[in-house]
């Protein structure tokens, strides 16, 4: 198990209750910031169809797929009902020195 | 004594979602899902898009495969046609499986693609099913000459897919512009411009006099004398609700199977959902509408499951529709024609979000077009504002730098 942390973005790059995209080595992720400044990371693509979750709307700790209204709790990756039923992969996140790091494994 | 099942006729989006939702809501009785197609229930939106453009031979995008349905204890009758409803006996008559008794019945029969009404119109290919998409896919070869009749969503998505496969494409539209139904003129023009940039020729305001077959090719003749040669003619000229079964059973029909706010037909034990039904929309003063959209089928399928087991509230979900055209994305929520004035917000990179306000200032629809990353978040906020029956300040809506999400807290 790799312990390598990857510098994804500045903490300020993500607005409160919002999400941005982060690409690395051919993989793509979504980096979330909650209203109370907690950070989370998941895979970027919705498990239902080809849409990037960074284009979706964050409400509380729920990310909605921008195309099909599929919903996930981004703190756990859990799918929250139709049309998605496959959970999202999540990744550990830490914030140090104003930067957001994710452990992509 | 055995319990009669809830029977669902139509194994598309609405019917299948209803079956799943019945179990989600705790219905434990027998449940039968009857469909004419042999494939497991699948999603139709990819048929005009990825199923045609994907490099590899596609497979149906399943809503629920055989294992899932078995897991949910849904008895699935595939390749079965219901030929009559005996309402007095609460029994369905089927082509292959004899009589099927029901306690309650859901009609989710969908819609079928309209035939092109012109001499030779039978030469035009229609798209509704996965098998039809596979057949069409083989025709969309590089260099093929494709004529698409109908500048609506299906026609334009097919045009975009055909271009992506390297075919040359002409779109013929009878109205003065494409997308006259439910899409504002400014967005229709942006979509037309995107198609022209991709090399699609759009001919609006034209009438087809005939389509003639000429060996393996076709000629499409217009009333003004122009003739387009084609290797493949596709018609996307709308859909008609599948109401024959309901009409023959004496159920009320009004541009679809007429249902009330609970999606209950004129027979209290028969419900309808999805493309096949017209219903009074609670968000629009009970105006009767019929929606041909994937999301509506999904939402009504989930909703009607609760109505089938006794819930009494009225359906009030905001209509929502999307279309992909090349790299650009269209989203419309609400009913555009309920609006009296339009406020536009510039989202950058050519993307636009229109707010459609009723005369009393209520937000009744929103239409957005552009790169998905530019429009999706704000379009979703607009959809929620519509559901809240919000009357937002027009100046705020127009000010692109002000956060739309802040209006949700108001």
- Which string of DSSP letters, residue by residue, matches B354-381? EEEE-TTS-EEEEEEEE-HHHHHHHHHH
Q: Is the pTM of this model over 0.95?
A: no
State how far residue A58 is from chain B, nearest Cα, in angstroms.
8
Query: Could you report the per-residue pLDDT of A31-57, keeping only the tens digit for each?
Result: 999 999 999 999 999 877 678 999 999
Which residue from B252, B261, B271 is spatially nearest to B102, judged by alpha carbons? B271
CB distance from A86 to chain B under 8 Å? no
State how far residue B377 is from chain A, nearest Cα, in angstroms.
5
**Could you tell me if residue B251 is inside a domain?**
yes
**Could you tell me if residue B177 is inside a domain?**
yes
A83 contacts on B by Cβ (under 8 Å): 43, 63, 298
Compute the mean pLDDT over every residue in chain A, rounded to the nearest whole number: 90
Q: What are phi and psi of B159, to 5 degrees?
A: -60, -45
Nearest CA in chain B to A48: B61
Query: Could you report the per-residue pLDDT of B351-384, keeping only the tens digit for each?
Result: 999 999 999 999 999 999 999 999 999 999 999 9
**Could you tell me if residue B317 is inside a domain?**
no
Task: Indicate the number of domains in chain B.
Answer: 3
Query: Could you report the per-residue pLDDT of B293-305, keeping only the tens digit for each?
Result: 999 999 999 999 9
Contact between B372 and A83 using a beta-carbon 8 Å cutoff: no
B105 and B13 belong to one structural domain: yes
Nearest CA in chain B to A51: B372
B60 and B25 belong to one structural domain: yes
B224 and B277 belong to one structural domain: no
What range does the domain containing B173 cover? 115-235
**Could you tell me if residue B1 is inside a domain?**
no
B403 and B291 belong to one structural domain: no
B204 and B158 belong to one structural domain: yes
B376 contacts on A by Cβ (under 8 Å): 55-57, 66-67
Task: Indicate the number of domains in chain A.
Answer: 1
pLDDT exceeds cutoff 70 at B236: yes
Q: Can you give the pLDDT at residue B367?
A: 97
Do B402 and B410 contact (CB within 8 A), yes or no? no
Q: How far apart are CA B263 and CA B271, in angstroms?
A: 6
Nearest CA in chain A to B327: A51
Look up the CATH number of the domain holding residue A27. Answer: 2.102.10.10
pLDDT exceeds cutoff 50 at A1: no
Q: Can you give the pLDDT at residue B89?
A: 97
Boundary-marking domain end, from B198, B216, B235:
B235
Higher pLDDT, B29 or A68: B29
In whole angstroms, what separates CA B156 from the centre of its chain? 14
Q: How far apart are CA B289 and CA A54, in angstroms?
A: 34
Q: What is the ipTM of this complex?
A: 0.89
Q: What are phi and psi of B69, to 5 degrees?
A: -65, -40
């Amino acid at each position: 198990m790799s312990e390598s942390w990857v510098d994804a973005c500045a903490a300020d790059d993500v607005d409160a209750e919002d999400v941005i995209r982060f690409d690395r080595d051919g993989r793509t992720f979504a980096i979330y910031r909650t209203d109370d400044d907690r950070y989370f990371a998941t895979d970027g693509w919705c498990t239902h169809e080809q849409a990037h979750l960074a284009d979706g709307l964050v409400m509380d700790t729920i990310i909605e797929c921008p195309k099909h209204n599929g919903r996930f709790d981004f703190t756990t990756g859990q799918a929250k009902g139709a049309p998605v039923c496959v959970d999202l992969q999540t990744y550990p996140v830490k914030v140090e020195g104003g930067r957001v790091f994710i452990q992509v494994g | 004594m055995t319990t009669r099942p809830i029977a669902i006729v139509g194994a598309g989006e609405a019917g299948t979602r209803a079956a799943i939702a019945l179990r989600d809501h705790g219905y434990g009785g027998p449940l039968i899902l009857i469909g004419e197609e042999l494939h497991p229930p699948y999603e139709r939106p990819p048929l005009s898009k990825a199923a045609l453009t994907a490099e590899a031979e596609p497979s149906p995008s399943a809503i629920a495969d055989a294992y899932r349905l078995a897991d949910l204890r849904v008895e699935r009758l595939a390749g079965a046609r219901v030929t009559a409803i005996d309402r007095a006996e609460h029994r369905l008559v089927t082509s292959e499986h004899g009589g099927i008794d029901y306690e309650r019945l859901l009609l989710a029969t969908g819609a079928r693609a309209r035939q092109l009404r012109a001499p030779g119109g039978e030469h035009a290919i229609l798209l509704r099913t996965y098998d039809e998409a596979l057949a069409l896919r083989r025709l969309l070869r590089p260099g093929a000459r494709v004529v698409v009749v109908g500048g609506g969503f299906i026609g334009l998505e097919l045009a975009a897919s055909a271009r992506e496969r390297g075919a040359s494409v002409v779109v013929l539209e009878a109205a003065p512009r494409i997308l006259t139904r439910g899409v504002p003129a400014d967005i229709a023009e942006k979509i037309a411009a995107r198609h022209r940039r991709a090399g699609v020729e759009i001919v609006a305001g034209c009438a087809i006099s005939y389509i003639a077959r000429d060996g393996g090719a076709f000629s499409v003749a217009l009333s003004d004398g122009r003739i387009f040669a084609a290797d493949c003619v596709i018609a996307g000229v709308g859909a008609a609700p599948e109401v024959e079964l309901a009409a023959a059973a004496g159920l009320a029909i009004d541009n679809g199977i007429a249902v009330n706010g609970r999606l209950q037909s004129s027979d209290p034990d028969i419900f309808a959902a999805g493309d096949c039904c017209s219903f009074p929309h609670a968000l629009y003063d009970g105006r009767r509408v019929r929606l041909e959209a994937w999301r509506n089928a999904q939402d009504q399928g989930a909703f009607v499951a609760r109505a089938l087991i006794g819930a009494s509230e009225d359906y009030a979900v905001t209509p929502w529709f999307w279309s992909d055209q090349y790299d650009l994305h269209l989203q419309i929520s609400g009913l555009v024609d309920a609006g009296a004035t339009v406020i536009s917000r510039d989202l950058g990179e050519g993307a636009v979000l229109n707010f459609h306000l009723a005369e009393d200032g209520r937000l009744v629809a929103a239409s957005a077009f552009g790169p998905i990353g530019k429009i999706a978040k704000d379009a979703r906020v607009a959809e929620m504002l519509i559901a809240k029956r919000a009357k937002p300040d027009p100046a705020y809506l127009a000010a692109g730098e002000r956060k739309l999400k802040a209006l949700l807290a108001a």
